[in-house]
Structure 1
Amino acid sequence: MIPIELLEDYLIDQDDGIKKLLTWFLNLVMQLEAIQQADAEPYQRIDSRKAHRNGYKERSLKTRVGELRLKKPQFREISFETKVFDRYSRVEKALINAVVESYLQGVSTRRIQDIVSRLGVENLSASSVSRISQELDEKVEEFLKRPIDHPIPYLYVDASYFKVRDNSRYVSKAFMIVMGVRDDGYREILGARIADGEDELFWSGLFQDLADRGLSGVKLVISDGHKGIQKAVEKSFLGASWQMCHVHLMRAVLRNVAKKYQEEIAEKIKIALEDETKMQQLIQELEDRGYSKSADTAERFRFSLWNYRAFPREHWRRIRTTNGLERINKELKRRSRVVGAFPSDKSFMRLGVSILIDINEEWMTTRKYLSMDME
């Protein structure tokens, strides 16, 4: 039974109350795990006991509601094992692996050396790094090769860029991500790949991989206006429509507008996105004001701005932008900031895909992204 004081905290301050409830629950889970592994209740004197308690070790866990401080049970005779930190440990391992791999390759900066020291892993051997790498590589491969069992009516594609070492130099590489909304309304990260760029060839290869794993039922593909994506979508998803992300359209148009007028034009773009007539009027206005490049951009994407309206109105807000992927890209940037530049493609994939696995697991255990009942 939940302690009454935790329920009172929840009613008074829901944010802090949720953290306390989650902390209580996860500590309780570990207590039950400890009872199972020791084969005895705390202080219970029985011959079948396998291990004796040896206090607790405080450990932090980052969650959607903030960082939790948990009490992990300790045993004298054996190591205590828990599922609570599995997701946390996977990303943590990938992060440490990337940092230490740079360190061992002799390409680390003073900042990396300082991080290694603070992590307490200066003496981590090359064989240990290799073992961790192999374990993470297996998890990455398993995730990226799993079958796609559900039809995917809505497909979102986007890429962000990261510094990766290529032979003796560091270059910017594209991390391409494909997310879908399944026919049951749940979101799922379907695939990811690191590539030298976003040319049609790279995207087509990723889409073919998804098809080989069972991707079907695609009706709408949402992305930015990159020509490589557009061409790959046209050839890979016959019969599907392509939707230009409204947020990316606004950014592209404003790129060639004087800064002092950007706020004004941004408001006009929002209004113009309501229908084609208003967009035509805005294109003419941009041309008349000398922003011919912006006018050309709006004209180029004009026939791909309203394809989302062929689908249920309740879906419109979430299928006219790639905002869901934008949030993932921000999280990838935030979590990888400590590394800075990755020593190899594989090193980046270990961390990047580990983060995607965590996000995907969270999506599959929370409520549906869209209600598909009205289709």
Structure 2
Amino acid sequence: MADNENPVVEPVEDELVDKVVERLMDRADASGASLLGEGGLLTAVTRAVLERALDAEMTEHLGYEKHDPAGRGSGNSRNGTSPKTVLTDAGAVTVAVFRDRNGSFGPQLVPKHARRLAGFNDQVLSLYARGMSVRDIRSHLAGMYGVEVSPDLISKVTDAVADELTAWQNRPLDAIWPIIYIDAPWIKIRSGAVVSKPVYLAVGVDMDGRKDVLGRWGGDEGEGATTWMTVLSELRNRGVQDVCIVACDGLKGLPDAVTATWPKATVQTCVIHLMRASLRFASKRDHPALVPLLRAIYTASTEQAAEQALQEFTDSELGQRYPAITRSWRSAWSEFIPYLDFPPEVRKVVYSTNLIESINARLRKATRNRGHFPSEQAVLKVLYLAVRELINPKARDINHVAAHWKKALNQFSLFFEDRLNPD
């Protein structure tokens, strides 16, 4: 019965699309025509689709079909067309825009005075979100579609998200978060001379085990408790009442700010970052031998066992060769040891930073591609657009649920008592 109520039509639509594509490709092979650019097949198809849609808009506006006798004496009628070139995903396309005798027709698909379709704007924003400079975007559009666009046009398109960015940065947040990861990548910004400045990022894992980029903030060259209080206070003012674990990478002043904002929160140094920092001090040929020695520290069942494992490493040949590794673990010890009290299910979630690393990797790529930025606002705009692509419903990374999250959530509830179930 259910099958009859909801007939499946997708395969038929797919078959029709396949036939159209096949005919287009056959025509391209036979004529030697290109797909894009002036005279290209996709350009022609785009023009035909736009003009068909514009014709339908005119019909709706007038209230009768073309050549329909019902239109006689209606007081308005078609009055030819005028050419208009618009920028689309297929490049520059010249379409015939219909006119009416009264001049009252205002097409929605290709609005008056508009020279680019929404899809083209999305294309520009997507390229900008990937860290491409204005020059790079102009070159890409010229190479792919034969379209010359001005720097001002690209700036207008990207600046149009300013209100959206502000609304996103100020949106309300959930009251309780099992984990929030804090990071502060350093980005080069031209301020007279090119200087490196931190940009603060907060990524939360919600009660359903899903990631959410909570916000991003520009910062001064020096990190400290005052800066972190500004960031964390904003999160609290947007609704975050409690956080079980705040994971970070030894950021100066953050532990004190976390305690002042959420007194019950546990500040936890990111174990993955500790491992990576350790391996940076050592030759790659020694990594296979180092990893099991360091793993013995963070997989220890108790703090005492972890202390013993660290001492054994320190006394080993590799420990003597790389004393900086021991120093890095000792300096982070007070923020590392809370990890040892967590149940195994919680340890797995905290340690497995794939939840945030995939986001950080994309955001870092978007900023690294640019080399340096002309202003802090340009950085924040790129980061927001990169985040917007990540939170697209089709983006699997941001919608990914932590493995075995339900088991972990049960352990969170037990370990942190009633904090995940507020009254």
Q: Which residue of 2 aligns with 1:13?
A: none
Structure of higher CA gyration radius: 2
Q: Which residue of 2 aligns with 1:108?
A: none
Q: Which residue of 2 aligns with 1:246?
A: 271
2: distance between equivalents of 1:223 and 1:305?
A: 10
2: distance between equivalents of 1:353 and 1:90?
A: 11
2: distance between equivalents of 1:234 and 1:87?
A: 42
Aligned pairs, number: 326
Amino acid at match of 2:278: V
1:190 is aligned, of 188, 211, 214, to 214
C-alpha offsets along residues 308-338 of structure 1, whole Å, 9 cap, x if unaligned? Answer: 5766754542222543333222212333455
Secondary structure of the 2:185 match is: strand
Equivalent runs, 1:187-226 vs 2, <5 Å: 187-197=211-221, 199-200=223-224, 201-226=226-251
2: distance between equivalents of 1:57 and 1:360?
A: 26
Q: Is the 8 A contact 1:222 1:245 kept in 2?
A: yes
Matched, 1:298 2:298: no
2: distance between equivalents of 1:361 and 1:312?
A: 33
Secondary structure of the 2:243 match is: coil
1:285 is aligned, of 304, 312, 330, to 312
Report % sequence identity. 22
Secondary structure of the 1:153 match is: strand
Matched, 1:331 2:388: no
Q: Which residue of 1 aligns with 2:258?
A: 233
Equivalent runs, 1:76-225 vs 2, <5 Å: 76-77=97-98, 78=107, 80=109, 89-92=124-127, 99-100=133-134, 123-125=150-152, 128=153, 131-132=156-157, 134-166=159-191, 168-197=192-221, 199-200=223-224, 201-225=226-250
- Evaluate the alpha carbon distance shift between residue 322 and residue 207 of structure 1 in structure 2; reply closer, same or farther with a 3 A threshold: farther
Q: Is the 8 A contact 2:89 2:120 kept in 1?
A: no
- Evaluate the alpha carbon distance shift between residue 88 and residue 59 of structure 1 in structure 2; reply closer, same or farther with a 3 A threshold: closer
2: distance between equivalents of 1:5 and 1:227?
A: 57
2: distance between equivalents of 1:355 and 1:158?
A: 16
* Structure 1 vs Structure 2 CA RMSD: 4.5
C-alpha offsets along residues 12-58 of structure 1, whole Å, 9 cap, x if unaligned? Answer: xxxxxxxxxxxxxxx9xx99x959974879xx956799999x9x998
C-alpha offsets along residues 201-234 of structure 1, whole Å, 9 cap, x if unaligned? Answer: 3222111111111112211111112333333323
Equivalent runs, 1:360-371 vs 2, <5 Å: 360-362=391-393, 366=399, 368-369=401-402, 370-371=405-406
Q: Higher relative contact order by CA 8 Å / sep ≥ 6: 1 or 2?
A: 1
Unaligned runs of 5+ in 1: 8-26, 61-69, 104-110
Secondary structure of the 1:222 match is: strand
Secondary structure of the 1:234 match is: helix
Q: Is the 8 A contact 2:128 2:137 kept in 1?
A: no
Q: Is the 8 A contact 1:244 1:304 kept in 2?
A: yes
Shift in Å, 1:235: 3.0
Shift in Å, 1:88: 5.1
Q: Which residue of 1 aligns with 2:349?
A: 318
Amino acid at match of 1:348: V
2: distance between equivalents of 1:373 and 1:264?
A: 34
C-alpha offsets along residues 211-263 of structure 1, whole Å, 9 cap, x if unaligned? Answer: 11111221111111233333332333211111221111112333434544232
Q: Which residue of 2 aligns with 1:342?
A: 373
TM-score (norm 1): 0.69
TM-score (norm 2): 0.62
Secondary structure of the 2:217 match is: strand
Amino acid at match of 2:314: E
Amino acid at match of 2:310: I
Amino acid at match of 1:154: I
1: distance between equivalents of 2:209 and 2:289?
A: 37
Q: Which residue of 1 aligns with 2:33?
A: none
C-alpha offsets along residues 155-205 of structure 1, whole Å, 9 cap, x if unaligned? Answer: 111122221111x11111212110112234332111111223461232221
Shift in Å, 1:287: 2.5
C-alpha offsets along residues 247-288 of structure 1, whole Å, 9 cap, x if unaligned? Answer: 111123334345442321122212332114553233213322
